[in-house]
């Protein structure tokens, strides 16, 4: 698994029952993605998360967008330009359409997931460089979401009701497969949150039945304890090293 894919997958690994909060449109969160190189944490990429209201002739949606781009000085080493988009109901955040456009060091991949109305099946289209396009139907469990939507769903949860050590399971569809993820409450910590200053946060441990994440309680996300539930920091541990994602700027919140 590439460094970028691990970073962005980890950033998006979250999702749970809706608890009445609403994600605001026109919000922008900008992050710095770092990876440990030669024993030092090195800034490699910028990750931008945006929300935008979208209207058609008959319906209204909320577009959830995540962009990943290596800083220019790293482009000659390994250039990344990725775009993830999810179109969801503006209040329930139920996904309708998910799109993924990947460029990683010359490797390209496009994906499009169309969710049926019942939320029980996804029509999954994928196209990799130099390979024919593929389309297949993937059956999913109830309340399974794409990775982008799940991060925003987590922010709608009243985490104050979770006891330290309590875990909850939820599911997402990624790479045309359904994955089960566990989130465990680790307590509270105060961390730096870019232009928001210091923020008290819920510290959450993320785990899954996969060999792509390593260590016990080594893959973590910090969400602010206020009603906005801003993701302020993430840390991940994978077979080839460790990294972190830190909030640098938040607007429209």
| Model pLDDT, residue 190 | 98
Q: What is the CATH number of the domain that holds 149?
A: 2.40.360
Secondary structure percentages of the chain, helix, strand, coil, to 5 = 10, 55, 30
Whether 86 contacts 114, CB under 8 Å:
no
Rounded to the nearest 5°, which phi and psi values hold at 150? -60, -35
How many structural domains is the chain composed of?
Answer: 1
Continuous segment of H or E residues that includes residue 41: strand 40-55
CA-only gyration radius of the chain, Å = 17
Full pLDDT tens readout for the chain, 253 residues: 454 444 444 444 433 333 435 799 999 999 999 988 777 889 999 999 999 999 988 899 999 999 999 999 999 999 999 999 999 999 889 999 999 999 999 999 999 999 999 889 999 999 998 899 999 999 998 889 898 998 899 898 889 989 999 988 888 898 888 888 889 999 999 999 999 999 999 999 987 766 555 556 678 999 999 989 999 999 987 766 788 999 999 999 9
- State the helix-helix crossing angle for 147-154 and 3-12, rounded to 10 degrees: 40
Distance from C-alpha of 164 to C-alpha of 205, rounded to nearest angstrom: 11
Owning domain of residue 131 = 3-251
> What is the model's pLDDT at position 226?
93
What predicted TM-score, i.e. pTM, was given to this entire model? 0.87
Write down the residue that tokens 């910090």 correspond to.
222
**Residue pointed to by tokens 């969801």:** 88
Residues 218 and 237: beta-carbon distance below 8 Å = yes
Strand 167-174, strand 81-88: pairing:
unpaired
């Amino acid at each position: 698994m590439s460094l970028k894919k691990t970073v962005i997958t980890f950033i998006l690994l979250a999702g749970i029952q809706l608890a009445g909060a609403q994600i605001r449109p026109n919000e922008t969160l900008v992050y710095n993605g770092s990876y440990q190189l030669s024993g030092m944490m090195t800034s490699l990429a910028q990750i931008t998360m945006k929300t935008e209201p979208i209207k058609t002739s008959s319906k209204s949606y909320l577009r959830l967008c995540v962009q990943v781009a290596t800083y220019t000085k790293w482009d000659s080493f390994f250039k990344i330009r990725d775009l993830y988009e999810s179109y969801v109901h503006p209040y329930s955040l139920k996904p309708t359409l998910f799109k993924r456009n990947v460029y990683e060091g010359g490797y390209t991949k496009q994906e499009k997931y169309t969710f049926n109305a019942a939320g029980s099946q996804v029509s999954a289209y994928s196209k990799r460089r130099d390979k024919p396009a593929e389309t297949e139907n993937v059956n999913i469990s109830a309340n399974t979401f794409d990775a982008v939507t799940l991060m925003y769903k987590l922010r709608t949860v009243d985490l104050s009701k979770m006891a330290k050590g309590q875990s909850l399971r939820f599911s997402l569809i990624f790479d045309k497969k359904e994955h089960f993820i566990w989130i465990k409450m680790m307590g509270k910590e105060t961390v730096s949150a870019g232009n928001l200053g210091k923020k008290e946060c819920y510290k959450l441990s993320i785990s899954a039945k996969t060999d792509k994440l390593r260590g016990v309680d080594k893959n973590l996300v910090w969400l602010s304890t206020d009603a906005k539930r801003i993701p302020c920091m993430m840390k991940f541990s994978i077979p080839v090293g460790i990294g972190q994602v830190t909030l640098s700027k938040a607007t429209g919140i």
